[in-house]
Amino acid sequence: MNDSSGLRPDLDIISEWIAPDSRVLDLGCGDGTLLHSLQQQRNVDGYGLEINPENIIACVKKGVNVIQSDLDEGLSDYFADNSFDYVVMTQTLQAMYYPTRLLRDMLNVGKEGIITFPNFGHWKSRLQIAIGGHMPISRSLPNEWFNTPNIHLCTLNDFEALCARLDIEILERQVVDVSHRNSFIMNLWPNLLGEIAIYRLKAREIL
């Protein structure tokens, strides 16, 4: 999937899930590329949270509203419940000390959440552990165990089990490879063949 936005295909998937004229919060927004595109293409009203000063400067240059923040400190100090239609977090969840709290916060301040993360259950990771006996290194997980920012790696099965425990409903799921491409066979065995997972979520309504 790709369009005139010029975004990476995985970010194009996220863009397709976001309705025009909506309110969007991007956690760990980086240099503001996604929010800037959403503002231009879908007329969203957006904010980003980012800790890196250089990325914050890049956001400001793009005209993206950004707040310097450590996501591990939570979101409730910044935003009230249901402040946003969507809360997006790409390739950040696995680097958080408190991923469970952050997931809950996302679905409190936003009506829906969109998350991407590297799939530790990919066959290359399994093979390196089983045959090589060492922590895997790949294009989606390029760091060694002692210098990786990732502290809570998981598989698709792990993440979906956590969602069930937290009463989080999975609305959509896609998997892509490290080049952010999807294929039919990848959809047949997502936990084995998908390198990066993309989820759209909401809090389950309690009857």
Q: Rounded to 10 degrees, what is the CA torsion of 92, 94, 99, 100?
A: 120
- Determine, yes or no, domain membership for 132: no
Containing structural domain, residue 24? 9-119+153-202
3-state SS, one letter per residue, for 65-81: EEEECCHHHCCCCCCCC
pLDDT value for 165 = 96
pLDDT value for 3 = 45
pLDDT value for 142 = 87
- CA–CA gap between residue 166 and residue 168 (Å, rounded): 5
- Determine, yes or no, domain membership for 13: yes
pLDDT value for 4 = 43
| Total structural domains within the chain | 1
Per-position pLDDT tens, the chain of length 207 = 444 455 677 788 899 999 999 999 999 999 999 999 999 999 999 999 999 999 999 999 999 999 999 999 989 888 999 999 999 999 999 999 999 999 999 999 999 999 999 999 999 999 999 999 999 888 788 889 888 889 999 999 999 999 999 999 999 999 998 887 888 889 899 999 999 999 999 998 765
- Determine, yes or no, domain membership for 75: yes
172 φ/ψ angles, rounded to the nearest 5 degrees: -150, 155
Q: What is the CATH number of the domain that holds 198?
A: 3.40.50.150
Per DSSP bridges, beta strands 196-203 and 168-176 are: antiparallel
- Determine, yes or no, domain membership for 101: yes
Query: Which distant-in-sequence residues (6+ apart) come within 8 Å of 54 by Cβ?
Result: none
- Determine, yes or no, domain membership for 33: yes
- Determine, yes or no, domain membership for 61: yes
Query: Which distant-in-sequence residues (6+ apart) come within 8 Å of 152 by Cβ?
Result: 93, 94, 95, 96, 97, 99
Q: Which of 52, 51, 49, 45 is nearest to 67 (CA)?
A: 49
Per DSSP bridges, beta strands 196-203 and 110-118 are: antiparallel
Note the pTM of the prediction, 2 decimals. 0.90
Q: Which residues pair with 116 in a beta bridge?
A: 90, 198
- Determine, yes or no, domain membership for 140: no
- Determine, yes or no, domain membership for 128: no
- CA–CA gap between residue 64 and residue 61 (Å, rounded): 8
pLDDT value for 6 = 57
Query: Which distant-in-sequence residues (6+ apart) come within 8 Å of 139 by Cβ?
Result: 178, 195
DSSP state of 95: G
